[in-house]
Structure 1
């Protein structure tokens, strides 16, 4: 991603003129800082997109390898059948068995191809259904990823909770209602709410440590989804991971902000791809 140097160049030209007031300079500096912040945010989103792309490519490669393997197996079976047909010692029973195995392998290859296409389409639909309903402001506090049919919605603590608390803020209601709509639409999916903190020890009389805080925050989201938006509680699980699942280093405030988050993980009850594996023809 290329970095725009227009704000810097503009600022330099204005300063070079020697006729800029302090107020005007401050306005330019503020505009520059705002653009730089937006640029950094776009860089982060670009890097996340690259990670998603790399993961998708890995998944596609894995499926293509399996398809190639099954096609190779098909060729071996076909060769065995040809040999069988030219050999007078082979009976009709063996020929029939080989034909069945070839048909079964062909069917499984098609299942793998369909699974790959369905997985890619499902990922795109799930992402679009959620992100298109979010406002520009909400998009800054919500990060959506879809990996292998599982939706990961990461919500910043600044948006979700009151400062230093596990109580849901009023501002979070609109965003949670949109996420609840997606959860309701995909009624066959289970939902895990996972709280995460930075590594700064909590100092509250009623909260023992970051484990407590992360679990309480996850529980608050679960209760909001159930009570305010009618999500079936049988589908919901609340969990806390404390400070032990960081996205990045806790050595600076920017890193700690990223690590303080709540993830809503929407996942199928049965993994579609593993179900296909279970239905694969036996290799004897």
Structure 2
């Protein structure tokens, strides 16, 4: 009779003990999950801000090219009007003189816009050449540098940058990041967007829900490395993830997947400095 009473009591103690351990583990996992959600929301906000800056930079370059084309067309129309004035005896010297002044003013502004664009392109090419020359032959295999629409793109492969299946920076990436950080530090008039990208394979890791999380965490790791290890000003940096939704190759092949697993460091001129250059146009003739 005594043993029949003690057995249920022991069973209750075991169940309560297991339940206690399970609740504690659940609380820890819930806390980690909440922290990850907060961090992901912060990264998404920073990414959206960086995307707006990047879109603005591309728009400014396109606007500049449109202004140049418009001014050239205006110059052609003025020249045509002047030719008509010269061929007509009914036009007076005053009108001819005014047209000449307008043509000269238009030519000056065209040259100014061309100079602004050339200055921006020249700075980007110097930046790109300096970085490319600093990379070793092995580093060049994992780093791709190009200029597109006035923006410098530095694409880094994931197998060089991160530990396998992780968002932690690998030791072998240090030398390459140091060279990139020096370029960023030397060109203080530029903002920097770090953009993570993945292939389309689903990920199954603790505290990483999907490729959105992985790409954003990888971008954040690069930002923090540039700030903490190489002294890049954090106010110039933005981290964002694009998950699997910005591929540059076909995900149906291993080669394509490898190209899509990349982190891009996007260097763009600051908006206020760019607008200052455009705003300093030659004065029109009175």
Does structure 2 conserve the Cα–Cα contact (< 8 Å) formed by 1:84 and 1:95? no
For 2:227, the equivalent position in structure 1 comes to: 226
Deviation string, structure 1 residues 64-123 (Cα, Å, up to 9, x no partner): 8557424413414534765899535x9x5x677545422320111212332454344334
For 2:28, the equivalent position in structure 1 comes to: none
Does structure 1 conserve the Cα–Cα contact (< 8 Å) formed by 2:192 and 2:238? yes
Per the alignment, do residues 69 and 280 of structure 1 end up closer, same or farther by CA in structure 2, a change over 3 Å counting? farther
CA distance in 2, matches of 1:237, 1:85: 64
Deviation string, structure 1 residues 196-232 (Cα, Å, up to 9, x no partner): 0000001012101000000000000000001111111
Deviation string, structure 1 residues 26-46 (Cα, Å, up to 9, x no partner): xxxxxxxxxxxxxxxxxxxxx
For 2:157, the equivalent position in structure 1 comes to: 156
CA distance in 1, matches of 2:70, 2:137: 41
Kindly report which structure 2 residues correspond to 1:46-195, keeping only aligned pairs within 5 A, or say none: 68-76=72-80, 78-79=82-83, 82=86, 86-87=90-91, 98-195=99-196
Offset of residue 142 of structure 1: 0.2
CA distance in 1, matches of 2:205, 2:178: 30
Per the alignment, do residues 84 and 264 of structure 1 end up closer, same or farther by CA in structure 2, a change over 3 Å counting? farther
For 2:214, the equivalent position in structure 1 comes to: 213
For 1:254, the equivalent position in structure 2 comes to: 255
CA distance in 1, matches of 2:244, 2:280: 37
CA distance in 2, matches of 1:150, 1:231: 19
- Does residue 268 of structure 2 align to residue 267 of structure 1? yes
Does structure 1 conserve the Cα–Cα contact (< 8 Å) formed by 2:169 and 2:221? yes
Higher relative contact order (CA 8 A, sep 6+): 2
CA distance in 2, matches of 1:220, 1:275: 34
Deviation string, structure 1 residues 233-254 (Cα, Å, up to 9, x no partner): 1010000000000001100111
SS of residue paired to 1:165: coil
CA distance in 1, matches of 2:205, 2:76: 63
Does structure 1 conserve the Cα–Cα contact (< 8 Å) formed by 2:78 and 2:99? no
CA distance in 2, matches of 1:173, 1:197: 21
Q: Which has the larger radius of gyration?
A: 2
SS of residue paired to 1:207: coil
Does structure 2 conserve the Cα–Cα contact (< 8 Å) formed by 1:157 and 1:262? yes
Offset of residue 146 of structure 1: 1.1
Does structure 1 conserve the Cα–Cα contact (< 8 Å) formed by 2:198 and 2:215? yes
Q: Could you list the runs of 5+ residues in structure 1 that have no partner in the other structure?
A: 1-57
Does structure 2 conserve the Cα–Cα contact (< 8 Å) formed by 1:189 and 1:269? yes
Does structure 2 conserve the Cα–Cα contact (< 8 Å) formed by 1:67 and 1:112? no
RMSD: 3.4
SS of residue paired to 1:174: helix
Q: Could you list the runs of 5+ residues in structure 2 that have no partner in the other structure?
A: 1-61
TM-score, with length taken from structure 2: 0.67
Higher helix content, 1 or 2:
2
For 2:238, the equivalent position in structure 1 comes to: 237
TM-score, with length taken from structure 1: 0.68
Does structure 1 conserve the Cα–Cα contact (< 8 Å) formed by 2:208 and 2:214? yes
